A = this chain, B = another copy of it.
Amino acid sequence: MLSIKELQEKITLAFSKQTFKGEPSLLYAPIDYTLSQSGKRLRPLLVLIACEMFQGDIEKAINPALGLEIFHNFTLLHDDIMDKAPIRRGKDTVYKKWNTNIAILSGDAMFILAYDYVIKTDPTLLPELLRLFNKTAIEVCEGQQYDMDFETQNNVSIDDYINMIRLKTAVLLGCSLKAGAIIAGANKNDIENIYEFGVNIGIAFQLKDDLLDVYSDVKKFGKITGGDIVTNKKTFLYLKAFELAKEEILSKLKKFFSLDESDSNIKINGVKAIYNELNIEELTLIEMQSYYDKAITNLNKIKIQDERKQNLLLFTERLMKRES
């Protein structure tokens, strides 16, 4: 059985063999620029881990794995326009480096490329793989729309939030694992369990992200913490605090969140103090753990030897303990 490191090397090698250059150059240069930044490459790794876990042929999974990574990067490219995000992975975003029109169109082209890679596999798998991919892709769009809706909505519940991150982030992790399992020819129950495992881990993963924004070590995190607080982003922490805060604490919380970006230090420190008072870090960890536990229940239902589950378990633990 290949190790995580060996699987990662397969992905790096496969990406290094691709070329995304072409004419007209303003269409292809942003694609090449985006895909040559490596990122974490979580999604293709999940495809290969699942394929390996069910003793599938990794070679059949490589192209769909790249396809899911390209799809993920396409969504980031378009999201960055919508979110007006100037920086991604320490570099200018495409719309900032070029312009909005180029970011829209090169994103569209990248989306087509994603399909092109997803379909480069055993043709008999196409109907199932494409149904999965289409369903996931549309859910990711739904998640992004809910996320945008929430910006101006004052009655977002924690359930709404969990549903949003399930769609925007978690289903693509589930899809990656499921794609690997389909390619390996796993049975229907195992395929559904690994999908649900991925979705639950994905929710825990996003909750961890919310936490890291507030409670991480700046040096390890690699960016300034408190960004979500400054922009009033309705994260789990924000929603939990508003759920729990009463009277004086509630009015202080509202006051701090009404400060604008020029007062960012006062705002971050003020909100953090209230989060500490309300025990928000602990509560977020408990919520995270509950999704992690659900995921482990899904994993336990998969009827293969425990040792074949080790890669996935190891990788998941690293994700949960990560500091950036």
Stretch at the interface among A108-116, A178-186, A192-200, A262-270: A108-116
1/0 per residue A108-128: CB within 8 Å of B?
Answer: 110111011001000110110
List, in ascending order, chain B residues with CB within 8 A of A22's CB: 142
Q: Does A24 sit at the interface, judged by CB under 8 A?
A: yes
1/0 per residue A81-114: CB within 8 Å of B?
Answer: 1100000000000000000111011011101110
List, in ascending order, chain B residues with CB within 8 A of A126's CB: 119, 123, 126-127, 130
Q: Does A14 sit at the interface, judged by CB under 8 A?
A: no
Distance to closest chain B CB from A102 (angstroms)? 8
Closest B-chain residue to A101, C-beta based? Answer: B82
Count the A residues whose beta carbon is within 8 Å of the partner chain — how many?
Answer: 38
Q: Does A149 sit at the interface, judged by CB under 8 A?
A: yes
* Bound: A142/B149 CA distance, A: 32
Q: Are B119's CB and A104's CB within 8 A?
A: no
Q: Are A127's CB and B134's CB within 8 A?
A: no
Q: Are B137's CB and A27's CB within 8 A?
A: no
Q: Are B26's CB and A145's CB within 8 A?
A: yes
Q: Are B115's CB and A78's CB within 8 A?
A: no
Closest B-chain residue to A131, C-beta based? Answer: B119
Q: Are B104's CB and A142's CB within 8 A?
A: no
Residue in contact with A78 in the complex, picked from B82, B104, B142, CB distance below 8 Å: B104
List, in ascending order, chain B residues with CB within 8 A of A137's CB: 112
* Bound: A24/B23 CA distance, A: 37
Distance to closest chain B CB from A167 (angstroms)? 9
Closest B-chain residue to A26, C-beta based? Answer: B145
List, in ascending order, chain B residues with CB within 8 A of A304's CB: none
Distance to closest chain B CB from A75 (angstroms)? 8
Distance to closest chain B CB from A114 (angstroms)? 10
Beyond A82-B105, A105-B82, A126-B130, whether A146 also contacts B24 by CB under 8 A is yes
* Bound: A134/B119 CA distance, A: 10
Residue in contact with A105 in the complex, picked from B24, B109, B115, B145, CB distance below 8 Å: B145
1/0 per residue A136-153: CB within 8 Å of B?
Answer: 011001101110110000
Closest B-chain residue to A137, C-beta based? Answer: B112
List, in ascending order, chain B residues with CB within 8 A of A144's CB: 105
Residue in contact with A138 in the complex, picked from B26, B109, B131, B148, CB distance below 8 Å: B109
- Residues of A at under 8 Å CB distance from B? 22-24, 26-27, 78, 81-82, 100-102, 104-105, 107-109, 111-113, 115-116, 119, 123-124, 126-127, 130-131, 134, 137-138, 141-142, 144-146, 148-149
Extra contacts, 19 of them, besides A26-B145, A101-B148, A126-B126 (Cβ < 8 A), are: A23-B142, A24-B142, A24-B145, A27-B141, A27-B142, A81-B101, A82-B101, A100-B100, A105-B141, A105-B145, A107-B108, A108-B141, A112-B141, A119-B126, A119-B130, A119-B131, A119-B134, A123-B124, A123-B126
Q: List 11 A-B contacts (CB under 8 A).
A: A24-B142, A24-B145, A27-B141, A81-B101, A82-B104, A82-B105, A101-B148, A108-B141, A112-B137, A119-B130, A123-B127
